């Protein structure tokens, strides 16, 4: 699958075999070499080792009386708290509230950003008209609009979704436009000389070529969404993961706060994995090693 089917495939295979044979006779393997490829099993093992080390350090330091246990609970206490939150305190509905906010706001952001991004990335005149405006909005931090949003939209879900939207949509527009713009000119001109009109080329070349880039951009911007979620839920919220954490702070339930952080981390990682899977399954023609 990864091997190139060459006009002179046999010759290349022989050359490759010769090279790997030479490498085998080279002697000791180097553990640290620049841009070295490593086997998947080793990657997994090293990744797990990193995590185990982190949890162990956390556990040991929590046992060392550096701080009162109430303020610095260990991993065992935090996972206990997490269990209790889900079983006894209907934390699931908080999680669902947060997830809904993320998904709703992101869907709206995408519905706005995709058409604008495609048009800006495809047509220089649209880009010239909109890029300076959108580009400037990116530099206005979304949390700066919280007072305004509170006055205009109140403290409900609309205000939180609006904040998430503002935090993401301008970046999304610019990034989707950049992805679209990277469509090779030769593909567009090929389609033109095959008789393609503007609309056909927009869909079958620019959009289709950019699709993997769009998916990857969404994956990255979802991570940014999570950042704004916590900010949105810390301000005047009654439900959601962030709201739970603020409630826990009032009663100095540090284990609950940490459980909230862990939940956000796990959810973010899950969404990220889903997007990576979609990417890998949908774009087999890109081969391995992308994203």
Partner 1 sequence: MSVHQGLSVTGVSKTFQSGGRAVQALENISLGLPAGKVGVLLGPSGCGKSTLLRMIAGLEKPSDGTITLNGRAVNRPGRDRGMVFQDYSSFPWLSVRDNVAYGLKINGDRNALNEGTVDHFIRAVGLEKFADVFPHQLSGGMRQRVAIARTLANYPELLLMDEPFGALDPETRWQMQDLLLNVVRKERSTVMVVSHDIEEALYLGDVVFFLSRHPGRLRETIFTDFKSSLPQNDREAFLQSDDYRRLELHIRRLMRDEGLDAA
Residue 81: φ, ψ to 5°: -65, -40
Q: Minimum Å distance from CB 200 to partner 1?
A: 5
Dig out the tokens for 99 from the structure. Answer: 């997830």
**Of positions 22, 66, 71, 186, contacts partner 1 by CB under 8 A:** 186
Q: Minimum Å distance from CB 218 to partner 1?
A: 18
Q: What is the size of the binding site for partner 1 (CB under 8 A)?
A: 27
Q: Minimum Å distance from CB 280 to partner 1?
A: 14
Q: What distance in Å separates the CA atoms of residue 202 and residue 123, rounded to the nearest whole number?
A: 10
Residue 67: φ, ψ to 5°: -145, 160
Q: Minimum Å distance from CB 65 to partner 1?
A: 59
Between 11 and 154, name the residue whose CB sits nearer to partner 1.
11
Between 155 and 182, name the residue whose CB sits nearer to partner 1.
182
6 binds partner 1 (CB under 8 A): yes
Dig out the tokens for 77 from the structure. Answer: 């206490």
Between 7 and 33, name the residue whose CB sits nearer to partner 1.
7
The string of DSSP letters for 240-285 reads SHHHHHHHHHHTT-HHHHHHHHHHHHHHHHHHHHHHHHHHHHH-GG
DSSP class of residue 29? P
Cβ-count burial 30-63 (b if 16+ within 10 Å, e if not) = eeeeeeeeeeeeeeeeeeeeeeeeeeeebeeebe
Q: Are 106 and 225 in contact (CB under 8 A)?
A: yes
91-99, 198-206, 217-225, 227-235 -> range binding partner 1 (CB under 8 A):
198-206
Q: Minimum Å distance from CB 268 to partner 1?
A: 29
Site string for partner 1, 78-117 (x = CB under 8 A): ----------------------------------------
DSSP class of residue 35? T
27-35, 150-158, 188-196, 217-225 -> range binding partner 1 (CB under 8 A):
188-196
**Of positions 61, 204, 220, 238, contacts partner 1 by CB under 8 A:** 204
Q: Minimum Å distance from CB 7 to partner 1?
A: 5
Q: Considering only the C-alpha atoms of the chain, give the largest distance between any 2 of them, rounded to a whole number of Å.
A: 75
Between 63 and 204, name the residue whose CB sits nearer to partner 1.
204
3-11, 99-107, 239-247, 267-275 -> range binding partner 1 (CB under 8 A):
3-11
37 binds partner 1 (CB under 8 A): no
Residue 25: φ, ψ to 5°: -90, 5
Q: What distance in Å separates the CA atoms of residue 204 and residue 191, rounded to the nearest whole number?
A: 9
289 binds partner 1 (CB under 8 A): no
287 binds partner 1 (CB under 8 A): yes
What length does the chain have?
Answer: 291
DSSP class of residue 28? S
The dihedral formed by the CA atoms of 200, 204, 209 and 213, expressed in degrees to the nearest 10: 90
What residues line the site for partner 1 (CB under 8 A)?
1, 4-7, 184, 186-187, 189-196, 200, 204-205, 208-209, 211, 283-287
């Amino acid at each position: 699958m990864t091997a190139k089917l060459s006009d002179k495939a046999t010759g290349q295979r022989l050359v490759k075999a010769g090279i790997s044979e030479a490498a085998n006779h080279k002697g000791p393997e180097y553990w640290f070499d620049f841009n070295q490829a490593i086997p998947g099993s080793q990657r997994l093992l090293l990744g797990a080792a990193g995590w185990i080390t982190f949890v162990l350090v956390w556990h040991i330091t929590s046992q060392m009386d550096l701080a009162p246990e109430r303020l610095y609970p260990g991993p065992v206490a935090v996972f206990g708290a997490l269990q209790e939150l889900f079983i006894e305190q209907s934390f699931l509905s908080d999680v669902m509230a947060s997830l809904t906010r993320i998904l709703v706001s992101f869907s709206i952001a995408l519905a706005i950003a995709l058409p604008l991004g495609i048009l800006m990335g495809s047509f220089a005149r649209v880009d010239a008209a909109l890029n300076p405006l959108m580009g400037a909005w990116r530099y206005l931090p979304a949390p700066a609009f919280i007072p305004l949003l509170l006055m205009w939209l109140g403290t409900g879900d609309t205000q939180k979704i609006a904040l998430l939207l503002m935090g993401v949509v301008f970046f999304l527009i610019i990034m989707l436009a950049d992805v679209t713009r990277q469509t090779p000119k030769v593909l567009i001109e090929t389609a033109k000389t095959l008789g393609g009109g503007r609309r056909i080329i927009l869909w079958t070349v620019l959009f289709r070529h950019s699709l993997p880039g769009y998916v990857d951009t969404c994956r990255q911007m979802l991570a940014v969404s999570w950042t704004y979620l916590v900010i949105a839920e810390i301000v005047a919220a009654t439900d959601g993961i962030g709201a739970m954490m603020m409630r826990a702070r009032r009663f100095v339930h540090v284990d609950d706060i940490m459980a909230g952080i862990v939940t956000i981390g796990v959810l973010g990682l899950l969404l990220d994995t889903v997007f990576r899977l979609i990417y890998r399954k949908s774009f087999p023609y890109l081969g391995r090693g992308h994203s």
